[in-house]
Structure 1
Amino acid sequence: MSVQDTSIVHAVTGSLDEGPLDGAARAEQSDSFDVEPPYAPDPAEVAGVEEFEDRFLDRELSWLHFNQRVLELAEDETLPLLERVRFLAIFTSNLDEFFMVRVAGLKRRIAAGVAVRAASGLLPREVLEQIWRTAGQLMERQAQLFAAEVQPALRAEGIELVRYDDLERDEQKTCKRLFKDRVFPVLTPLAVDPAHPFPYISGLSLNLAVVVRNPKTGKEHFARVKVPPIFSRFVPVGGQRFVPLEDVIREHLKRLFPGMEVLRAHTFRVTRNEDLEVEEDDAENLLAALEKELLRRKFGPPVRLEVEESMDDTVLDLLVSELGVTRSEVFRLPGPLDLRGLHDIADLPRDDLGFPAFVPSTHRHLAEVESASPVDVFKAARRHDVLLHHPYDSFATSVQRFLEQAAADPHVLAIKQTLYRTSGDSPIIDALVDAAEAGKQVLVIVEIKARFDEQANIRWARKLEHAGCHVVYGLVGLKTHCKLSMVVRDEPDGIRRYTHIGTGNYNPKTARTYEDLGLITADDAIGEDVAHLFNNLSGYSRNASYAELLVAPDSVRDGLVEAIHAEIAHHEAGRPARIRLKANSVVDEAVIDALYLASRAGVPVQLLVRGICSLRPGVPGLSETIEVRSVLGRFLEHSRVFWFESGGEPQAWIGSADLMHRNLDRRVEVLVRLPHPDSVAEVGALLDLAFDADTDAWALGPDGTWTRHPGPVHLHEELIARQRRRRHERREAAGGAVTP
């Protein structure tokens, strides 16, 4: 084999004759957190933290407080009306998933007899009782907001959501035709009597509980009618007037029960346990095992029953008995139930009632030279690292372009890619298929256990396999959640690796609404690390030491705790010290305790947390220097950032890992140290803006309550304005239009 051939093998597989760096060598190479002298907490300091037995907030209740913040956005009259409508729909979807996964898990632990106390000190039964009480209050608050504020505000703008009795005669005729021609043929009334057992009620389906009477015998009967999910939730009846689909069905029930008297009809909705349990060790084929489990998901036990508040006790008693739910799990609400359908209303073409249009722009490092040709991502990455900030920086002209260019480039030898979630018509999938069909070596790590995306990911796995890609499903017992892409290219000066490491999924659709960071780099050390990691995921390599990466479950928790300890050492030595972390959730007790130690030592700590936070800030003697903020708004804050002052030479890490047990112990997660000071400074500036006193945000108090502090600066709108100013400056500097 020639020297060049050997270098190609090394670039694709990540190994040369000398083999990967062992742990000692890599530790010597990396000085990520080197501090002289190193800090190690003594037992007394640890005991001082542990004396605070109530130092952890309950994660489930903290999540409900997060969804309360979503509801507060729907209540915010300063937001565009249709955006408030969308937040109402998001609140519903969020709560559905919470019951399907978290509440279902609590019930499962109680049933299995493994109901141990949570870190918050609460038993699962106590948590459940608080969940039922808090969730009930929030659902009632949502229903009242919709009826008392949002509906009237929509009506004032010419958008009317009305009940059937409020329709005009011609509108009722429209509904009658719709029912006769389209709805009636797909309805299936299911009777309940000795010959017809109580039907299975699928999770999240909307149903009518119908009571009919035989006029000859006077006997009453119960029947269930499912509202077909294939039709729009709110039926347009002309102009911008809509009526709930269940109202149309309820009005025409006589056609379903000819010869019977329809006495009552009430809507109800069941939420079921829809979390997956797959025993990977016992499954010869994980794909087949998962497909089988997806079929079983439909029959998970109920965890919530929502009913229209007008439902009579006789019908409710029947539902409670047949479904096997407790009274605590029943929620009586004003209709209409299931406000997820408000997404359709929020999508109405009323630009005057939504956020102003925003078009992402090409990152400045990818559009330095004006040209009609597509961006050359490889050329740009060779010049300098590209730190992307979506959705402000275009995903299509950066990450998507990176993979499409790699697929078409004859000099590219291999592409290695992780996929956790992607869109239905994904150009990412198409690029990987094109690359494989062009003869390139393509490895795809598909996480088919991505919750609620399993079926879609199974389809992509099959499609990629048929195209000739090497498809693997990661490591047994671990979800592959990291966001990695590596391109190996044969260049005149030798083989070069280009990598993209991100905080978000390779999904062009969510990249327009999710706030995420990503790094495109040709850095050799990062490329070497990523190559070894792909070998871990696809083969039997167990190298767990990396120069520029922290990789869960091996090193993310320990690496972050080490970094926190390093800040304590800097502070005690009189050097600049500060910790700033940004995540979706902060739950891990070991990391939180390390932050408490830092606070007790006097290190300033700032946390920007979108969702769950189990840390109590501002507790005297424990967390007085810790500030916790949350920003919600136009975009979904999704990036994870770990920023350390590091004695005056700041370091920043970005990646896929949240500070939760599942991420640090049961997933393959990756954090990458940003290699260039400019990128570190850019991330620091973003955090400066988020923690600015004028930025609109919620603040967490020691008692676990979140309080909104409205400010004149809205983070997302300010970043949009900055992006537009930069684009304008580039346009003026170039003497004309720049790449959009």
Structure 2
Amino acid sequence: MGRMSTSSLERTTDDERETVTDALVEPVSSFASAVPAPRPPARAANGRFISTVPAPDAQPVQEELPPDRYLERELSWLQFNERVLQLAMDPMVPLLERVRFLAIFSSNLDEYFMVRVAGLKRRIATGLAMRTAAGLEPRELLDRIARVAHELTAQQADLFQHDVRPALEDEGIAIIRWDELHEEAREPLHWFFADRVFPVLTPLAVDPAHPFPYISGLSLNLAVLLENPKTGVEHFARLKVPPNLPRFIEIADEPDTEPEGGGEQRKRFVPLEDVIAAHLDQLFPGMTVQEHFTFRVTRNEDVEVEEDDAENLLTALEKELTRRRFGPPIRLEVEEDMDPRVLDMLTSELQISDRELYRLPAPLDLTGLHGLTDVDRSDLEYPKFVPRTHPDFAPTESSKPGDILGAIRHKDVLVQHPYDSFSTSVQAFIEQAAADPYVLAIKQTLYRTSGDSPIVDALIDAAEAGKQVLAVVEIKARFDEVNNISWARKLEQAGVHVVYGVVGLKTHAKLCLVVRQEPEGLVRYCHIGTGNYNPKTARGYEDLGLFTCDPQVGEDMSRLFNQLSGFAPRSKFKRFLVAPRSVRSGLIDLIEEEVAIHEGRRKGEPAGRIAIKVNAMVDEAIIDALYRASQAGVHVDIWVRGICAIRPGVPGLSETIRVRSVLGRFLEHSRVFWFDHGGDPQVYIGSADMMHRNLDRRVETLVRITDPGHLAQLDELFALGFADSSSRWDLGPDGRWVRHAVDDHGEPLDNIQAKLNERHDKRRRKARRR
């Protein structure tokens, strides 16, 4: 699964934070009554899960369309994370994968608070917050977010404590608390603490000589109550749990608990904070440890750089990243039985309101569960998956790599990761281009990539070989800024021309252009993708990529790179739609053309059809155009992974609109836009989601797909995604998502990702037989 990106928001000062906090404070009794008791998601008799996140009301926006046509995007994101939680609840999902989904739920929610909630609070504080498109006042939205987030985190904690943790123990993977250990089992942990933990701990006292310490965002901490036995005076100290040590420490199994019948060896883990808490007397010698509690703070982690005022964007961003660590707190998670005096101190010092306080059972921070999924238990995981080489790139001799440029010269190639290997397609394309003596230039956009990326290494090799190499690096890719700055400097030092795109816009397009000298002249080889040039995420993200040496695409890409590296504001494109200029307007034109063709069709001809696959659908102009298409009778299918503001199935508004979501082993990440166009399909793939930030504040690229075989492949993708036999979530007109995982007889519905893997394997076998 992976992280959810959100729009860039303005920074809040300390004074503004005080204003926000004052505005949000409520009496505890009032807040407690506003937050419903945790409850599991409703489950219908046929095994469907029904969202418990409330569907928001909506208010008028335009007179010509109904006033309640948009769903609230922020609550829709919480519904998406609820779907992740439902996968963790599903007993049909392998156990360690359920653990992984629990961890993903936590990391998703962390980012949501760091960016979305923090941004909303900042806009309220600065007076810039406006009523949302769904009609909610900013403070009303903040209240609803708090209520839903409290309920979902309570559900997650209950799921872990009473379902997943016992199930793990039944499988011989136990999370043991310190009090449950025998002294013999504690002995190696005493040595571990002395050798690995004690040297890196820094206890911080709080008294007149020691002010309340800064609590870094997302760190796990121990709040310790101490007493001086000589004076009887009580003291408070804070201890940070080292983030560079494993969260769960594996310990040897007890001698009398060997598995019977040759079964799997038992694994036992102790939370690191328990090990530290058991040795607090060594950190505070001469003091009496009365009580200790864990807590965790989430801070505003968004970044805002005024590019127009920054002479050097790289330097400005480095300074801003330093300030990020001191963003205002926006959430405080504490053990549910924390001493009221300690809790009062924390909320007072951190300026946390009641609605920002989350009382949860220990252990806190379930992102640490990622570590448990490394246990070697293949029987508790999805079946082993190995990406395979696309048949068009398969080598003619097994001992040699395929000739990527030769294959592209022969015909266009459409790959779908992770089913088609990234390393033997995209990575090989760039590596072979870097090593080819006839390649003169390589131009590449880089948004997110791994620190040890072979893509970066290939660009460096190409530059050192004397080729012209241009890297358009997006150093403001959220939460990857530090890594991107590091390898941007590495590229510069190797002689690569590094530029940072267009001032005021993030470069999110996924493009690579290779210029090669051939007998007939210069030939441009192009790759346009929907996902990042990151070999690691490509193994878990579903994405599409087009390889072509079509002259029109090559010309479009050359023009776009000239825009990004120089000055070419009036460039026009033939097979590209490029944001912020033409993606929204181009898609709306295609929607309107579909309506016109539908309305002008002859009797007996099929109705118009639009199919869209994206990560997010929230842009009001696009949604309104789709509503009008539905009102005209055009069939509209929306396949969305995350947030969705469109309201399907409303009589007179969206009766012909269906919205579905698919979550599973791989993160659905590709963006596809299909218009039947009277039997001449107009189809695009690319990097853009239907969000304001993508359409207005980013450089995004969609490329038109023209090859009949590729069109058939994408048509099959949509057919599978919208088949009634496929497992999915359906969005109803009331704004609630309903999961369809089993049929009326209780049998599991088809797993779309498993079916796609089967289809790709079948295609490879067929290609080998030719």
Q: What's the TM-score, normalizing by structure 1?
A: 0.92
Note closer, same or farther for the CA distance 1:336–1:48 as it changes in structure 2 (3 Å cut): closer
**Residue in structure 1 matched with residue 567 of structure 2 by the alignment:** 540
- Report how far residue 656 of structure 1 moved: 0.2
SS at match of 2:342: helix
Q: How does 1:574-593 map to 2 (within 5 A)?
A: 574=601, 576=606, 577-593=608-624
SS at match of 2:214: coil
User: Which ranges of structure 1 fall in alignment gaps of 5 or more residues?
Assistant: 1-45, 735-740
**Residue in structure 2 matched with residue 344 of structure 1 by the alignment:** 371
1:704 is the counterpart of 2:741: no
Cα distance in 1 for partners of 2:572, 2:416 equals: 28
**Residue in structure 1 matched with residue 359 of structure 2 by the alignment:** 332
- Report how far residue 697 of structure 1 moved: 0.1
Q: How does 1:573-652 map to 2 (within 5 A)?
A: 573-574=600-601, 576=606, 577-652=608-683
- Report how far residue 730 of structure 1 moved: 4.1
1:188 is the counterpart of 2:188: no
Cα distance in 2 for partners of 1:437, 1:477 equals: 32
1:268 is the counterpart of 2:295: yes
Which of 451, 458, 480 is 2:485 aligned to? 458
- Report how far residue 541 of structure 1 moved: 1.0
1:91 is the counterpart of 2:105: yes
Alignment length (residue pairs): 688
Cα distance in 2 for partners of 1:47, 1:342 equals: 44
Partner deviation per Cα, 1:363-400 (whole Å, 9 max, x = no partner): 11112734422111111011111001000000000000
**Residue in structure 2 matched with residue 136 of structure 1 by the alignment:** 150
Amino acid at match of 2:124: I
**Residue in structure 1 matched with residue 217 of structure 2 by the alignment:** 203
**Residue in structure 2 matched with residue 395 of structure 1 by the alignment:** 422
Cα distance in 1 for partners of 2:128, 2:661 equals: 33
Query: Is the 2:728–2:740 Cα contact (8 Å) retained in structure 1?
Result: yes
Query: Is the 2:201–2:240 Cα contact (8 Å) retained in structure 1?
Result: yes
Q: How does 1:66-215 map to 2 (within 5 A)?
A: 66-215=80-229
Partner deviation per Cα, 1:642-699 (whole Å, 9 max, x = no partner): 0010101112100000000000000000000012122112111111101100000000
Identity %: 65
SS at match of 2:405: helix
- Report how far residue 526 of structure 1 moved: 0.4
1:413 is the counterpart of 2:450: no
Amino acid at match of 1:605: V
Query: Is the 1:164–1:243 Cα contact (8 Å) retained in structure 2?
Result: yes
Partner deviation per Cα, 1:133-167 (whole Å, 9 max, x = no partner): 10010001000100101011111111001111112
SS at match of 1:388: strand
Cα distance in 2 for partners of 1:186, 1:404 equals: 42
Cα distance in 2 for partners of 1:410, 1:47 equals: 59
Cα distance in 2 for partners of 1:515, 1:238 equals: 39
1:482 is the counterpart of 2:519: no
SS at match of 1:181: helix
Farther-moved stretch of structure 1 (630-639 vs 713-722): 713-722
Cα distance in 1 for partners of 2:61, 2:541 equals: 40
- Report how far residue 191 of structure 1 moved: 0.6
Cα distance in 1 for partners of 2:396, 2:286 equals: 77
Cα distance in 2 for partners of 1:661, 1:189 equals: 46
Q: How does 1:55-66 map to 2 (within 5 A)?
A: 55-66=69-80
1:280 is the counterpart of 2:307: yes
Cα distance in 1 for partners of 2:289, 2:395 equals: 70
SS at match of 1:682: helix
**Residue in structure 2 matched with residue 493 of structure 1 by the alignment:** 520
1:653 is the counterpart of 2:651: no
- Report how far residue 278 of structure 1 moved: 0.5
1:225 is the counterpart of 2:244: no
Query: Is the 2:524–2:554 Cα contact (8 Å) retained in structure 1?
Result: yes
Cα distance in 1 for partners of 2:385, 2:751 equals: 15
Query: Is the 2:61–2:133 Cα contact (8 Å) retained in structure 1?
Result: no
Cα distance in 1 for partners of 2:766, 2:92 equals: 31
SS at match of 1:506: coil
1:467 is the counterpart of 2:494: yes
**Residue in structure 2 matched with residue 8 of structure 1 by the alignment:** none
Cα distance in 2 for partners of 1:727, 1:555 equals: 37
Query: Is the 2:451–2:487 Cα contact (8 Å) retained in structure 1?
Result: no
User: Which ranges of structure 2 fall in alignment gaps of 5 or more residues?
Assistant: 1-59, 254-266, 743-748
Partner deviation per Cα, 1:698-725 (whole Å, 9 max, x = no partner): 0001111110011420011111222233
1:684 is the counterpart of 2:715: yes
Query: Is the 1:544–1:554 Cα contact (8 Å) retained in structure 2?
Result: no
Which of 396, 420, 427 is 1:369 aligned to? 396
Partner deviation per Cα, 1:299-321 (whole Å, 9 max, x = no partner): 00011000010101111110000
Q: What's the TM-score, normalizing by structure 2?
A: 0.88
RMSD: 1.2
Query: Is the 2:394–2:401 Cα contact (8 Å) retained in structure 1?
Result: no
**Residue in structure 2 matched with residue 555 of structure 1 by the alignment:** 582
Cα distance in 1 for partners of 2:355, 2:581 equals: 42
Farther-moved stretch of structure 1 (714-723 vs 612-621): 714-723
SS at match of 1:476: coil
Amino acid at match of 2:288: E
Query: Is the 1:234–1:244 Cα contact (8 Å) retained in structure 2?
Result: yes
SS at match of 2:673: strand
Which of 370, 378, 398 is 2:405 aligned to? 378
After the TM superposition, list the runs of 4 or more consecutive aligned residues in structure 1 that deviate by more than 6 angstroms: 46-49
Cα distance in 2 for partners of 1:48, 1:124 equals: 20
Query: Is the 1:143–1:334 Cα contact (8 Å) retained in structure 2?
Result: yes
- Report how far residue 594 of structure 1 moved: 0.1
Cα distance in 1 for partners of 2:346, 2:64 equals: 47
- Report how far residue 726 of structure 1 moved: 3.1
Cα distance in 2 for partners of 1:47, 1:476 equals: 32
Amino acid at match of 2:309: D
